[in-house]
Structure 1
Amino acid sequence: EKAYKFRIYPNKKQQELINKTFGCCRFVYNKYLAKRIDVYKNDKETFTYKQCSSDLTNLKKELKWLKEPDKFSLQNALKDLENAYEKFFKEKAGFPKFKS
């Protein structure tokens, strides 16, 4: 088996887009983690991935800067949150933490 390593050198515009993408993904992950915690505390119900995804569409209408990064990166942040919850309940791993 072979493996190749590549190093990329993004220009300033690309670096700015990469940083915006990371920031938006962190924002989405933390917002919906907090929302899931609040919904469970108040209603004793779970806020599912599908509900998060549809709510993200509404949030993107409110916050125009969430439209700048790729939409798949934001959906993957929600999927990562869903996977963290599944691991917490199935494998008794630690509760999902806020990203810094």
Structure 2
Amino acid sequence: MLKGYKYRLHPTAEQADFLVRTIGCARFIYNKLLEDRIALHEEAKAGTGPKRKLPTPASYKPLFPFLAEADSLALANAKLHLDTAFAKFFAGTAGFPVFKSRRKARASYTTNNQHGTIRIEGDRVR
């Protein structure tokens, strides 16, 4: 049986700022990747130019230095979420992926636990 846990966090001001910046960067990467996929699709449909590979979140870091401050796994997961959205679209089970809005979207991001980077110590989440 799989279990899920929900925790209410009370971050410090510095931690809250980091979370807000990471959420914004994940949304920015999702929107940027979606914009580039639409552009690549238009180029392929028009038959202009050589075929290009899909960009990765790491390819945007030199162009946008603020992305280096965010959790890299959150950015990678934003790309995976976009890939899943396109897979569902092409399977016919969902509509075309839409851009994420700062005001309408739920403020969240997904990260991964690698080698105990996220753990419970006593009554705290570290």
Q: What range describes the TM-score normalised by the shorter chain of this pair?
A: 0.7 to 0.9
What residue is the counterpart of 1:98 in the other structure?
99
Amino acid at match of 2:69: E
- Say whether residues 1:52 and 2:51 are aligned partners: no
Shift of 1:52: 2.3
SS of the residue corresponding to residue 97 of structure 2 reads: coil
What residue is the counterpart of 2:43 in the other structure?
42
SS of the residue corresponding to residue 61 of structure 2 reads: helix
Gaps of 5+ in 2: 102-126
- Say whether residues 1:65 and 2:66 are aligned partners: yes
Question: Contact 1:52–1:78 (CA<8 Å) still a contact in 2?
Answer: no
Gaps of 5+ in 1: none
Change (3 A) 1:77 1:47: farther
Shift of 1:42: 1.7
Aligned length: 96
Change (3 A) 1:94 1:6: same
Question: Contact 1:36–1:47 (CA<8 Å) still a contact in 2?
Answer: no
CA radius of gyration, larger in: 2
Q: Structure 2-normalised TM-score?
A: 0.67
Shift of 1:6: 2.6
SS of the residue corresponding to residue 52 of structure 1 reads: coil
Structure with greater contact order relative to length (CA < 8 Å, sep ≥ 6): 1
Q: Structure 1-normalised TM-score?
A: 0.83
Amino acid at match of 1:10: P
Structure 2 CA distance for aligned equivalents of residues 30 and 82 of structure 1: 12
What residue is the counterpart of 1:27 in the other structure?
28
Structure 2 CA distance for aligned equivalents of residues 92 and 25 of structure 1: 24
